[in-house]
Amino acid sequence: MAEVTLRKVVKRYDEVEAVRGIDLDIPDHEFVVLVGPSGCGKSTTLRMIAGLEDISDGEIMIGGDVVNDVPPKDRDIAMVFQNYALYPHMTVAENMSFGLRLKHYPKAEIKQRVTEAARMLDITDLIDRKPKQLSGGQRQRVAMGRAIVRNPKVFLFDEPLSNLDAKLRVQMRIEIKKVHQKVRTTTVYVTHDQVEAMTLADRVVVMNHGRIEQIGPPNELYHRPATKFVAGFIGSPAMNFIPCQLEESGGLLQVRVSEAAAFPIPAERVARYRGIPRDTKLLLGLRPEHLVDAQSNQSAAFQPFDATPDVIEPMGMETFVYFPLAGVQLCGRINPGIEAQAGAPLRLAVDLNHMHLLNEATGAVL
Amino acid sequence: MTTVTLDKAGPSRKVGSMSSDRKWAMRWSYVFLTLFAIFFLFPPIYMFITSLKTSSEISAATNPWWVYNPTLSNYIELLTSNQFLTFFKNSALVSIFVVTITMLISIPAAFALARMRFWGSTTLATGVFLTYLIPDTLLFIPLFKMFATFAQWTGIELINHWWVLIFVYPTLTVPFCTWIMIGYFASIPKELDEAAIVDGASWLQTLLRIFVPVALPGIIAATIFAFTVSWAQFLYPLAFTSSVDQQVLPTGIITTLIKGDVFNWGQIMTGALLGAAPPLIIYAFLMDYYISGLTAGATKG
Amino acid sequence: MVDAAQSMTQPIRARTTRSGLRKFFERKSTIAFFMALPLMLLIAIMVIYPAFYSLHLATLNKSMQRFVGFGNFTFLFKRETFWMVVQQSCFFAITAVIFKALIGFVVAHLVHNLPDKGQRKWRGMLLVPWVIPPAMSTLAWLWLFDPSYSAFNWILAQVGIGPIPWTGDASWARFSVILVNIWAGAPFFLIMYLAALKSVPEQLYEAAAIDGANWWQRIWYVTLPMMRNIIAITTLFSLIVTFANFDIVRILTAGGPLDKTHLFATWAFRIGIEGNDIPLGASISLFMVPILAIAAVFILRDINKRGNEA
């Protein structure tokens, strides 16, 4: 068990900087998820923690010791790979015990640890099979078993679920969470899937272009994103961004999104936004669940407006409507009971209590 | 009514003609393949026919494609002749040593070149491939002279000893085997050795306990290649060995069974057939490995 | 401030030098270098050195005492036999490779037409000439071509065609060595082309058939472009091997009659080893280099191209 610390970690490949100075403190027992689009440096960061990539600059500490020059085998880590990387010529038991056998653990202890891990992952029956005879989900369990058996200081997961189909992915996600709740090992988990990040993490680290955009618990990232990137990346369907301007009419602060449409800013937000220069180009950020049908949301918090949806997506428990407004395509979420038709006008309402106002040029959330 | 029948008849007639086309194409394929098979197989079959004949039947003016009085005397004579058994033993020893040396050199080198990357490793990989393109016919004269000079300097005579071939044949086998092993190793996912390294394996352990077992089909293919090359090599033994007791099979059969103008064809064909037997047997049992090794050189890497 | 910086860096430097040697041997690149070292030594001593040594040998006189510069080459240029060998080598290699490629292509298609389960058997039979050591199979051909007992001539005699001097007459002997080379080498093309044919996705043919392509158009627009790489590389390989061929000519005709079937390799052996004129033999064999080099450049370009695509 150990904490992991990254100090100004940089990774350079010839000309390109893949990771540009990352600071990260992961306390003991924490489950941290690195998430971001492909090429954001998340995998490289993980591989530097594992020792599979050299660190160009900065330091990485595991359990308080700088491990920059420590080879992977001496870092006391275990890693689960995207394609599982099971040794095809070994049985499940041999796969799981390979690391222990290399370290010359006593046979009895190896057997006990393997049995225990197999029981925890519910793969006791598969113990003598070869990887080829296993399904994707079973291979995934074996790969995790191989990590658990070692009882390492840190678990590293590199997109472990992306080779599974959608249903199995949900199932294994729960499995991983359960295992972590049992063994409480410090875990760094890399994924490009924000749903995985939200569901698994104690804290999520959103990365983009080799930098950390924001670190925080899942709900904080969702409700209080710090940048446009985080706001747009977390949440599905993604947050809508509408070009807008602040204006004051009759002592009332409001956002104008088009010639025709302007919404008054809620009282509790006025103080926060009043200082923004009026000529700043702004974006109004609204999640789909805050663009709703006017019929079932009639309280004072909601500002009604008219729109003509061009695509309707009924999902069962909710219905998404896509409609143009102020030159951009927006997505709203309406009550599935509402009769909506593509091309037919629909009365919608916006919940400005959950609005975000962003600086278009800098991407900062104001 | 008419249109319906037409519509029905149209496609069904077409399908019918397609499948009868296919049938005819298939029949012609079999006819031509049989002709080609005859072309490719009659020399070894003729070897076998001749090997069953007595000298008198061979020199008689009868149908050469038929055996009237089959006999095994050629086989018995050769397999009890010390000379022939010496050729066989020399060939076998040379091949076994060459295969071992080839694998000991190729596998670690291929692993280093495929996975570890060091200064100049890409150049070396290309170099290995180029070496494979240098034929034996370009090197036998300088090697012959080098061995002669070596004997002058050290007093160790290399020429006219069967074991000199053990040092020479790897030049033919190692480059190709390294090249195809690089291909096989490169096809192993990178995560597998990373998993091994995280598990605490050293590079040597990764090679021996992960790569060698996983790439075993490739190693078998390379072994078969090395064996067939060293078993069949003709130019080097012809240039470097001359005494009867130092010869390997290909040169031995030609130099000893052909005495002046007297060709003992029954025995020559028997010897050639026996000499061709080991590669043929390996081929019969391990055809898929043999073919994968053959195609690996051009399709991989 | 400066002091602090120095005291920060010094222990690091001390640490690295102390364990420097151990680190050097533990470094990945060092281990890799030593794993590849036997290979490098083998290539350096047994291939690179002899290749350059033959350049040196080619500049000596017969007794290898005196430097004669290009003397051996100018001597060769004046000999009619040399130009004959050049001609014969090129004719032999080009003709044989063309026919091997054609036969390989045709037979590969025939095999590919068969139902999958029958293919193995046919492929197994058709590859036999490639498996038999060439020295052994050429002996069979030598016996088939025997001047007095030729089994071919027996068959021809049955239909009233006079005995053919398979290895006795210059033109027939040239035909015979090429025939044997085609027989031994065509299966290699067959296997390569068959592997290439199998790698063409079936959907492409289905798409072409839907687009209305006939049998010939499917070969021209689908098969050939998809196989282009394999065809090129196999042809170049074979060109090198055929050009440098030794076994077949040596056993079948030994260069005769009257040196009419010599290739560079067999002539170099005759002069260099049997005739004891090592420098002249080396000079002859060096004439193989230009052709080999050209083929090698093309193969290498192809491989690099594919490497970049991957």
Query: Model confidence over A201-248: pLDDT tens digits?
Result: 999 999 999 899 999 999 999 999 999 999 999 988 899 999 888 888
Q: Please provide the average confidence, as pLDDT, over all residues in chain C.
A: 82
Please report residues of C whose CB lies closer than 8 A to that of B128: 39, 43
Q: Which CATH class is domain A240-359?
A: mainly beta
- Report the percentage of chain A scoring pLDDT > 90: 45
Q: How confident is the model at residue A164 (pLDDT cuts 50, 70, 90)?
A: confident
**Contact list, C250 vs chain B (CB under 8 Å):** 234-235, 238
pLDDT at C9 over 50: no
Q: What was the pLDDT predicted at C8?
A: 40
Mean pLDDT score, B177-181: 90
- Altogether, the residues listed in chain B come to a count of 301
- Residue numbers in B near A99 (CB within 8 A): 198-200
Overall residue count recorded for chain A in this entry: 366
Residues A121, A66 contacting (CB under 8 angstroms)? no
DSSP per-residue codes, A317-364? S-EEEEEEETTEEEEEEE-TTS---TTS-EEEEEEGGG-EEEETTT-B
According to the 3-state scheme, what is the secondary structure of C199-216?
CCCHHHHHHHHHCCCCHH
Question: Mutual orientation of helices B265-285 and B82-111 as an angle, nearest 10°?
Answer: 30
Q: How far is CA A228 from the centre of its chain?
A: 15
Contact B142 C237 (CB under 8 A): no
On whether residue C284 sits in a domain, the answer given is yes
Q: Looking at the structure, do residues C104 and C243 belong to the same domain, yes or no?
A: yes
Q: Is C13 inside any structural domain?
A: no
Alpha-carbon gap: B145 to the closest alpha carbon of chain A (Å): 48
Q: What is the mean pLDDT of residues B173-195?
A: 89
Q: Are residues C200 and C109 both part of a single domain? A: yes
Tell me if C146 is assigned to some domain. Answer: yes
Both C31 and C126 in a single domain? Answer: no
Q: Give residue limits of the domains in chain A.
A: 4-226, 240-359
Tell me how many domains chain C contains. 2
Given pLDDT bands bounded at 50, 70 and 90, which one contains residue B13?
very low
Q: Name residue, tokens 């995560």.
A: B191
pLDDT at A131: 92
CB-CB under 8 Å, B199 with A52: no
Across A361-366, average pLDDT: 86
Q: Percentage of residues in chain C with pLDDT exceeding 90? A: 13
Distance CA(A183)–CA(B162), nearest Å, equals: 65
The DSSP result for C77-94, as a single string, is HH-HHHHHHHHHHHHHHH
Q: How confident is the model at residue B15 (pLDDT cuts 50, 70, 90)?
A: very low
Residues of B in contact with A85 (CB under 8 A): 189, 191-192, 194-195
Nearest CA-CA partner of A282 in A306, A266, A308, A263: A263
pLDDT in tens, C90-120: 899 999 999 999 999 999 988 888 888 888 8
Question: Average model confidence (pLDDT) for chain A?
Answer: 89
Average pLDDT, stretch B31-36? Answer: 90
pTM of this prediction? 0.83
Within 171-190 of B, beta carbons closer than 8 Å to A belong to 189
ipTM value: 0.85
Question: Which pLDDT value is given to residue C97?
Answer: 92
Going by C-beta distance under 8 Å and a sequence separation of 6 or more, which residues neighbour residue A187? A30, A31, A32, A154, A155, A156, A157, A180
Lowest mean pLDDT among A327-341, B284-298, C127-141, C233-247: B284-298
**CA atoms of A239 and C272, how far apart (whole Å):** 83
How much of chain A exceeds pLDDT 70, in percent? 100
Q: How far is CA A351 from CA A115, A288, A294, B54, in A?
A: 54, 10, 10, 106
User: Distance between CA A273 and CA A255 in Å, rounded?
Assistant: 10
- Number of inter-chain CB pairs under 8 A, A vs B: 57
| Sequence-separated contacts (24+) of A299-305 with Cβ below 8 Å | A301/A266, A301/A351, A301/A352, A301/A353, A302/A349, A302/A350, A302/A351, A303/A263, A303/A264, A303/A349, A303/A350, A303/A352, A304/A347, A304/A348, A304/A349, A305/A261, A305/A263, A305/A347, A305/A348, A305/A349, A305/A350
Q: How confident is the model at residue C22 (pLDDT cuts 50, 70, 90)?
A: low
pLDDT of residue C27: 74
Please report whether residue C119 resides in a domain: yes
Contact A332, A291 (CB under 8 A): yes
Q: Do residues B248 and B293 both lie within one domain?
A: yes
On the question of pLDDT at A329 being above 70, the answer is yes
Q: Which of B225-234, C29-38, C223-232 has the lowest mean pLDDT?
A: C223-232
Q: Is the domain of B18 the same as that of B91?
A: no
**CA-based end-to-end distance of chain B:** 62
As a whole number, mean pLDDT of residues B13-19 equals 49
Of B118, B119, B165, B116, which is closest to residue B140 (Cα–Cα)?
B165
Query: If you average pLDDT over residues B50-70, what whole number do you get?
Result: 82
- Binned at pLDDT 50, 70 and 90, residue A294 comes out as confident
Q: Which residues of C touch B43 (CB under 8 A)?
A: 129, 137, 140-141, 144, 183
Q: What gap in Å lies between CA C18 and CA C258, rounded to an integer? A: 73
CATH topology (fold) of A4-226:
Rossmann fold (3.40.50)
Tell me if A168 sits within 8 A of A136, measured CB to CB. yes
Does residue C27 sit in the same domain as residue C157? Answer: no
- Cβ atoms A32, A202 nearer than 8 A: yes
Read off the DSSP letter of residue A278.
Answer: T
pLDDT given for residue B105 in this prediction? 94
Do B149 and B83 reside in the same domain of the chain? yes
Q: Any idea what the Cα angle at residue C108 is, between residues C106 and C112, rounded to 5°?
A: 120
| A138: amino acid identity, one letter | Q
Within a domain: C12: no
Neighbouring CB atoms inside 10 A of B191's CB total 18
Give rounded-to-5 percent helix, strand, coil for chain B.
80, 0, 20
As a residue count, chain C comes to: 310
CATH number at residue C299: 1.10.3720.10
CB of C233 less than 8 A from some CB of B: yes
**Beta pairing class for A211-216 and A203-208:** antiparallel
Nearest residue to B249 (alpha-carbon basis) of B269, B226, B284, B276: B276
Residues B94 and B35 in one domain: no
B37 and B178 fall within a common domain: no
pLDDT value at B263 more than 80: no
Q: Which of A180-184, A272-276, A341-345, B271-275 has the lowest mean pLDDT?
A: A272-276
Q: Which of B197, B4, B242, B222 is nearest to B101 (CA)?
A: B222
| Better pLDDT: C302 or A193 | A193
Cβ of B15 under 8 Å from any chain C Cβ?
Answer: no
Total domains in chain B come to 2
> Is B59 within a domain?
no
Nearest to C31 among B58, B116, B273 (CB): B116
- In the predicted model, is pLDDT for residue C303 greater than 70? no
User: Which of B50, B139, B239 is closest, CB to CB, to C51?
Assistant: B139
Cα–Cα distance measured from residue A162 to residue A135, given in angstroms and rounded to the nearest whole number: 14
Residue B12, pLDDT > 60, answer no
The answer to whether residue B58 is domain-embedded is: no
Span of A124-133, B177-186, B252-261 with lowest mean pLDDT = B252-261
Q: In this structure, are C302 and C222 located in the same domain?
A: yes
C199 located within any domain: yes
For residue B8, what pLDDT band results from cuts at 50, 70 and 90?
A: very low
Same domain, B88 and B179: yes
- Quick one: pLDDT at residue C33? 87
The percentage of residues in chain C with a pLDDT greater than 70, rounded to a whole number, is 89
Q: Considering CB atoms only, which of A83, A89, A98 is closest to B191?
A: A83
For C150-176, write each residue's pLDDT tens digit.
888 888 888 888 788 888 888 888 899
Residues C248 and C304 in one domain: yes
Chain A residues with at least one Cβ partner in B under 8 Å? 50-52, 71-73, 77-79, 81-89, 98-99, 102-103, 146, 150
**Is B115 found in the same domain as B192?**
yes
**CA dihedral sign, ordered C17, C22, C25, C26:** negative
Query: Please, which pLDDT band fits residue A158 given cuts at 50, 70 and 90?
Result: very high
pLDDT at A331 over 90: yes
B3 pLDDT exceeds 60? no
Residue C8 lies in a domain: no
Q: Assess contact for A17 and A45: CB atoms under 8 A.
A: no
Higher pLDDT, A290 or B3: A290
B173 and B269 in one domain? yes
What percent of the residues of chain C are helix, what percent strand, and what percent coil, each to the nearest 5?
Answer: 80, 0, 20
> Distance of alpha carbon A110 from its chain centroid, rounded?
35
**pLDDT for residue B16:** 44
Q: C26 lies in which domain range? A: 19-57
Mean pLDDT of B109-129: 84
How far is Cα B54 from Cα B72, in angstroms, rounded to an integer?
9
**Residues linked to residue A79 through DSSP beta bridges, in sequence order:** A156
Determine, yes or no, domain membership for B60.
no
> How far is Cα C23 from Cα C230, in angstroms, rounded to an integer?
45
- What is the C-alpha to C-alpha distance for residues C214 and B173, in angstroms, rounded to an integer? 45
- Is B104 part of the contact surface with chain C (CB cutoff 8 Å)? yes
Handedness of CA C66, C70, C73, C77 (dihedral sign): negative
pLDDT-wise least confident of B235-239, C83-87, C166-170: C166-170
Tell me, what's the pLDDT at C304?
A: 67
pLDDT bucket at C10, cuts 50 / 70 / 90: very low
CA distance A280 to A360: 8
Same domain, B88 and B131: yes
C296: in domain = yes
- C123 and C253 in a single domain? The answer is yes
Supply the pLDDT for residue A1: 63
How many whole angstroms from its chain centre is CA B178? 16
Confidence of residue C147 (pLDDT cuts 50, 70, 90): confident
Predicted confidence (pLDDT) at residue C1 exceeds the cutoff of 50: no
> Which residue range(s) make up the domain with B37?
2-51
d(CA C269, CA C278): 9
- C103 contact residues in B (CB cutoff 8 A): 36
Contacts of B216 in chain A (CB under 8 A): 89
- The Cα–Cα gap between A330 and A238 comes to 10
Q: How far apart are CA A34 and CA A158, in angstroms?
A: 10
**Can you give the C-alpha Rg of chain A in angstroms?**
25
